[in-house]
């Protein structure tokens, strides 16, 4: 549209427990930027690092784990280190695979509400 430009595109996910989801996404590497509380509990949060951002909001209805139609893709550095750290915390990251589009590797992780995160290293160089 003339005179207008998109300056950011941020994922916005409804979650069952905003506090728990904040902790999960902080573990993945997204620090809390800001949050809104009602009745002593967070009902909305923005987490981010650089250009990577996600908004979380308390869901009005139950979250159905098998019906989450969104997949989040995260570019990271230190893929193997992150994978190892998540596994040590018991978060069950999937195996690191090396598909043609991500030869340096990627793995799958599911958040507490069933949203799937694919986490990959975009450098283009395979690493061990």
pLDDT in tens, 107-124: 999 999 999 999 999 986
Alpha-carbon dihedral sign for residues 22, 26, 30, 33: positive
Residue 75 phi, psi (nearest 5) = -95, 135
CB burial class (10 A; 0-12, 13-18, 19+) of residue 55?
middle
Q: Is 125 inside any structural domain?
A: no
Q: What is the DSSP string of 47-91?
A: EEETTEEEEEEE-SS---GGG---EEEEE-S-HHHHHHHHHHTT-
Given a cut of 80, whether residue 13 has pLDDT beyond it is: yes
In the prediction, which pLDDT does 69 show?
73
Q: Is 61 inside any structural domain?
A: yes
Q: Is 5 inside any structural domain?
A: no
CA of residue 46 relative to chain centroid, distance: 12
Arithmetic mean of pLDDT, 45-62: 94
Arithmetic mean of pLDDT, 71-93: 95
In the prediction, which pLDDT does 4 show?
64
In the prediction, which pLDDT does 126 show?
60
In the prediction, which pLDDT does 125 show?
65
Give the residue with greater pLDDT, 124 vs 70: 70
Q: Is 6 inside any structural domain?
A: no
Please, what is the average pLDDT of the chain?
91
pLDDT-derived band at 41, boundaries 50, 70, 90:
very high
We report the CATH number of the domain holding residue 70 as: 3.10.180.10
Provide the domain limits for residue 36: 11-120
Q: How many domains does the chain divide into? A: 1
In the prediction, which pLDDT does 15 show?
95
Burial 89-118 (b: 16+ CB within 10 A, else e): eebebeebeeeeebbbbbbebbbbbebebb
Q: Is 127 inside any structural domain?
A: no
**3-state class (DSSP) for residue 14:** strand
Q: Is 45 inside any structural domain?
A: yes
Q: Is 4 inside any structural domain?
A: no
């Amino acid at each position: 549209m003339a005179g207008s430009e998109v300056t950011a595109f941020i994922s916005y996910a409804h979650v069952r427990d905003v506090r728990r989801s904040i902790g999960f996404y902080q573990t993945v590497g997204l620090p809390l930027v800001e949050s809104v509380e009602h009745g002593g509990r967070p009902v909305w949060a923005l987490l981010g690092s650089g250009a990577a951002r996600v908004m979380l909001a308390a869901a009005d209805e139950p979250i159905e784990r098998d019906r989450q139609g969104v997949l989040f893709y995260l570019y990271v550095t230190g893929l193997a280190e992150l994978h190892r750290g998540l596994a040590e915390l018991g978060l069950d990251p999937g195996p690191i695979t090396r598909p043609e589009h991500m030869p340096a590797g990627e793995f799958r992780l599911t958040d507490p509400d069933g949203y799937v995160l694919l986490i990959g290293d975009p450098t283009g160089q395979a690493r061990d």
